[in-house]
Each structure stands twice: as structure tokens, then as C-alpha cells.
């Protein structure tokens, strides 16, 4: 797998406040390109096959205990391999002292080693979470992202389809704007996170009016910096000859964003339709389906019950 983006050691150290044990300022310029960590049990035992050398190494109590029973010449050989030019850094958990041979090898190679007071499991989770966010695959989409009833809703459609006007209506109804016109997205784990470019943050473009400052007009509560994209509502011009969902038991639609399928609803735009209310209704129905209630299946059930009732009545006659 290829990872998009890079982080240098200095970014990580500044964020977590690790104590530096070895390495000078230049050593902090090493790149981290893989959002994962390695506890080098097999490597310390001499098995390096299938090792991903670009991962940050974390040495916890188990590794410390294993290192302590290794002969010094073996330690030196193993440490020279795990402190090569590909390994970004080593972090010692629980403020443990650096093994002396490892420290010597690292000083000779100007290799960065740090200490953290965090337990090993927490250190692993925190570093992976940080790297996942900073190295996440990213893209930019055309649309409007809002938080509606606690769900991140990406509204898409052709230019001029009324996306920003619908957003304004929803904001007036108490919902929250994340981004208008351009939505920057990143994949973190299996979720898609959307946010606004810094230049456009808090702004909404309304044709005929111009750019409006949502925070100034509606208050800080009308804005969020980022949100998950839970569903996509795609607007398209109403076509009397097209087939649109009527019952709701049609095949589910999805929009693929960074290889993640996002549930999608297509809403035809037509004069006289209250689009804000339609978007709210679509989100409420989406939440009901998440909680196990399917309006379409409930309607089908009523239809079958009505047919059975009519057939029973005919049989009695």
C-alpha cells in the first residue's frame, strides 16, 4: 500500500513532547511515511524477513527484558540493523532507560531515540492515531458539507443546482455548515472526514447576493471545522421521464470517496419543492434505517397485510 503525505520526526516530537535521548537536530528531519508502529520482538531475535523497516519502533518492557538477556555482541548486531536509514525513530515507553549498547549504536549513527512516560499500549494507539490523520489519503470534492441532525451530509450536484441556497435554508433551520463549494476530504480508517479549505472556512456563496459570513450572520454555533461524511445527497434537475425512488425499496446507491462507499440519495430539483425539508426528511429516514426501522419495508408489510385481508374477505363470501 502507498501512503499519501509525509511527517518528519520533529512534528511528532513537538506534538507529544517526547524526551530526546540520542540524535541531534538534523536527525529530527527524518521522514515518517507509514502510519504504523513496530514492537521489534522478532527482529531482536534475529528474524528480519517481511519486516516493514519504515515503521516507528516502540520498545516496551517485554523488549527491554529480552534485550537484557542477549549477549552484547548480539545486541550490537541487532541494534545496527534496526537503526538503519529506513527506520524513522525509536521510542522507549514508561520512561525506561535506553539499553547502553543501543545508545552507543544510536549515537554513532546519529539515530533519534526518545522516551515517553506513556505505557506501551497507549503510546502505540496515540502514535498510530496521529499518523493516520497526518498521512491520510486525501482529495477535494465539489459540493456542500453540513451537519444535519448529527449526520455529515455532503450535498452534490451540477453548478447552479441550488446547493448553497439549500445550505442557507438548512443553516437558518439550525443545522451546521462545514464547507461550501470545495470540500477537502481525507480517509481515516474506514471513515471519510470532510473540512473546508482555510480560505473558504465559514463562507457561503449565494448567487445574486455574493459571499456571506455564516459565523457573523448566524453565530459560531452555525459552524463546524470538520465532520464525518455519513451520506451523500445528489441533486439533479427534475426529468419527468426519469425513474426516481418512490417507495424506498429500490437498490441502494453509493458514492465512492477514497475507496469508501457512502450511502447516496438522489433528489430531483423542481420549482416549488422545499429542498431544506426534503434534506431533513432524508436524513431522518437514514437515521431510522440505521436503527433498524425501514419505512419501505413497513409499507410493503402493510400492503401485504391489506392484500391478505382482502383475500380473506373474498374467501368468506
Query: pLDDT tens digits for 30-48?
Result: 999 999 999 999 999 999 9
Of the candidates 226, 148, 236, 230, the one whose C-alpha atom is nearest the C-alpha of residue 194 is 226
Share of the chain above pLDDT 90, in %: 72
**Cα–Cα distance between 301 and 126 in angstroms, integer?**
48
Above 90 in pLDDT, residue 226? yes
Q: What is the SS3 assignment for 239?
A: coil
Whether 268 and 238 have beta carbons less than 8 Å apart is answered as yes
| The pairing of beta strand 19-22 with beta strand 113-115 | antiparallel
Is the confidence at residue 248, as pLDDT, over 60? no
Cα end-to-end span (Å), the chain = 70
From 241, 246, 259, 314, active-site residue: 246
Name the DSSP letter for residue 229: -
Q: What are phi and psi of 298, to 5 degrees?
A: -65, -40
In the predicted model, is pLDDT for residue 250 greater than 60?
no
Residue 121, CA atoms < 13 Å, CB-side half-sphere: 0
Q: Is the pLDDT of residue 303 over 90?
A: no
Catalytic pick from 54, 181, 234, 287?
181
Q: Catalytic residue among 142, 216, 297, 309, which?
A: 142
Read off the pLDDT band of 54 (50, 70, 90): very high
- Measured CA to CA, the distance from residue 146 to residue 226 in angstroms comes to 9
Mean pLDDT of 195-209: 92
Q: Residue 9 and residue 194: Cα distance in Å, rounded?
A: 26
> If pLDDT is split at 50, 70 and 90, which confidence band does 271 have?
confident
151, 163, 175, 187: the catalytic one is 163
Give the model's pLDDT for residue 263. 95
Per-residue confidence band for 2, with pLDDT thresholds at 50, 70 and 90: very low
C-alpha distance from residue 286 to each of 151, 256, 265 (Å): 9, 18, 10
pLDDT of 1 higher than 50? no
246 is known as an active-site residue: yes
309 is catalytic: no
Catalytic residue at 181?
A: yes
Provide the pLDDT for residue 137: 87
What would the mean pLDDT of 49-55 be, rounded to a whole number?
90
pLDDT at residue 243 above 70? no
Q: How far apart are CA 119 and CA 287, in angstroms?
A: 38
Amino acid at each position: 500500500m502507498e501512503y499519501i503525505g509525509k511527517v518528519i520526526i520533529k512534528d511528532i516530537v513537538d506534538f507529544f513532547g517526547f524526551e530526546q535521548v540520542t540524535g541531534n537536530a538534523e536527525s529530527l528531519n527524518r521522514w515518517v511515511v507509514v502510519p504504523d508502529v513496530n514492537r521489534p520482538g522478532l527482529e531482536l531475535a534475529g528474524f528480519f524477513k517481511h519486516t516493514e523497516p519504515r515503521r516507528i519502533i516502540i520498545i516496551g518492557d517485554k523488549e527491554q527484558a529480552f534485550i537484557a538477556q542477549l549477549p552484547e555482541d548480539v545486541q550490537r548486531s541487532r541494534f545496527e540493523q534496526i537503526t538503519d536509514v529506513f527506520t524513522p525513530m525509536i521510542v522507549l515507553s514508561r520512561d525506561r532507560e535506553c539499553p547502553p549498547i543501543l545508545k552507543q549504536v544510536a549515537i554513532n549513527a546519529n539515530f533519534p531515540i526518545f522516551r515517553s512516560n506513556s505505557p506501551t499500549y497507549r503510546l502505540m494507539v496515540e502514535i498510530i492515531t496521529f499518523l493516520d490523520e497526518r498521512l491520510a489519503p486525501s482529495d477535494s470534492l465539489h459540493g456542500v458539507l453540513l451537519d444535519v441532525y448529527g449526520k455529515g451530509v455532503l450535498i452534490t450536484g451540477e453548478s447552479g443546482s441550488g446547493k448553497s441556497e439549500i445550505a442557507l435554508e438548512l443553516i437558518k433551520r439550525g443545522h451546521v455548515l462545514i464547507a461550501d463549494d470545495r470540500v477537502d476530504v481525507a480517509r481515516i480508517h474506514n471513515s471519510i472526514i470532510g473540512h473546508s479549505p482555510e480560505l473558504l472556512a465559514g463562507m457561503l456563496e449565494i448567487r445574486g447576493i455574493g459571499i456571506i459570513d455564516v459565523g457573523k450572520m448566524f453565530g459560531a454555533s452555525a459552524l463546524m471545522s470538520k465532520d464525518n461524511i455519513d451520506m451523500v445527497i445528489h441533486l439533479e434537475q427534475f426529468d419527468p421521464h426519469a425513474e426516481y425512488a418512490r417507495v424506498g425499496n429500490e437498490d441502494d446507491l453509493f458514492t465512492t470517496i477514497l475507496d469508501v462507499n457512502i450511502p447516496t440519495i438522489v433528489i430531483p430539483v423542481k420549482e416549488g419543492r422545499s429542498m431544506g425539508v426534503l434534506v431533513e426528511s432524508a436524513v431522518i429516514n437514514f437515521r431510522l434505517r440505521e436503527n433498524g426501522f425501514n419505512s419501505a419495508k413497513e409499507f410493503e408489510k402493510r400492503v401485504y397485510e391489506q392484500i391478505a385481508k382482502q383475500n380473506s374477505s373474498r374467501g368468506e363470501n
